[in-house]
Amino acid sequence: MGNLGKICVLLTALSVGAAGGAYAFYKKAYQKPRAEIAQQKAQLETYIETCKKNGENFDRTAANYAPVYALSMPTNRQSAGVEYQIWLEQMLEFCNLSEPMTKAGRYVSNRANNTATQEFSVQAQCSTADLTQFLFEFYWTPFLHRITALDLKPIESSDLLDVRMTIQTMTVGYKERRDPATAANETEKATAETLAKFAAYPKADKLPLDTTPTRVLASGPLAAYQPFADTELFRAVRTGIDAADFTRLTATPEVTDEKGNTTRFSRWYVGTEDRTITLKVGERMRIGSFDAEVVEILDDFVLLRQNGDDERLWVALLGGNLNEASAVNLY
């Protein structure tokens, strides 16, 4: 090959090399960075969309939980304990819980979410019906409170229960506020307007007694829970001396009033309590484990009906103990 041929081959090789190098440079300096930029752009758009959705979810959550401010205990630490304890003692008295004792426990602050909790211990005696009413009133009251522990113990030879419970209250110190005028969209505006409705809460030194109760129980009227009170859940586990075993029918006298009306009574001596009770027809006898209605009073015996039983009566003989009463089937 002559010199001219060699030069042509060399120029051709240089041209091919230059073209290949240019293409490699193009991929490295332009195409690859552009692809990376496009990927970053797509990731950023996805992130922005996620943040937008999270923001909308946050707005909805803030609006949904805004009513919680109106249920919070007072933000003043001393008021939160004193005011609630006063309310609790009044509620116990209203529901006929006898010998109530309440004690305020520790006030625990959570700085991470600006909330605080406090526990109250309660001890009292009551019937199943009174306990049912207390639980009903407790959970209808619009407070941030809950019963975390409830211990029930039947009192020997009695229809009463020894009740011990632990109650926890919560104060929401953090308060989110929004300005409707600066809202970026309708969702933010709606949230700001919802939060504005609860701007007066939580209160500094008062319980939220003016808050409208929300539906938190399955049924509204207390009567819906009456079957629980009538079930006598604890009768089967009563221990100790039963007053009914030491109750005797002592007399069935007739008494005439000033108008000449005659009424027959039954008199029962309760030996365990050293007292006498007098009952007439239609009145209810509750002695120890025995619970019945007086149906009829005759010279030598008294007829009693338990739990509204229409198929059987109990016959208590004059001079006999209540535990000696015999059953009579009506059908």
- Residue ranges per structural domain of the chain: 3-67, 72-174+210-230, 241-329
Q: What mean pLDDT do residues 188-202 have?
A: 66
SS3 83: helix
Give the closest residue to 265 by CA, choosing from 286, 249, 245.
249
Residue 233 has pLDDT above 60, yes or no: no
- Looking at residue 286, its amino acid is R
Distance CA 304, CA 284 (A): 9
Cα 149 from chain centroid? 11
Distance CA 231, CA 319 (A): 31
Mean pLDDT of the chain: 77
Distance CA 15, CA 37 (A): 32
Residues β-bridged to residue 315: 303, 326
Give this prediction's pTM: 0.53
Q: Which CATH number fits domain 72-174+210-230: 3.30.70.60, 1.20.120.530, 3.40.1500.10, 3.40.50.300?
A: 3.30.70.60
Least confident of 170-174, 187-191, 327-331: 187-191
Give the closest residue to 183 by CA, choosing from 45, 48, 50, 55.
55
pLDDT tens-place string over residues 261-310: 889 999 999 988 888 999 999 999 888 778 889 999 999 999 999 877 78
Q: What mean pLDDT do residues 88-106 have?
A: 92
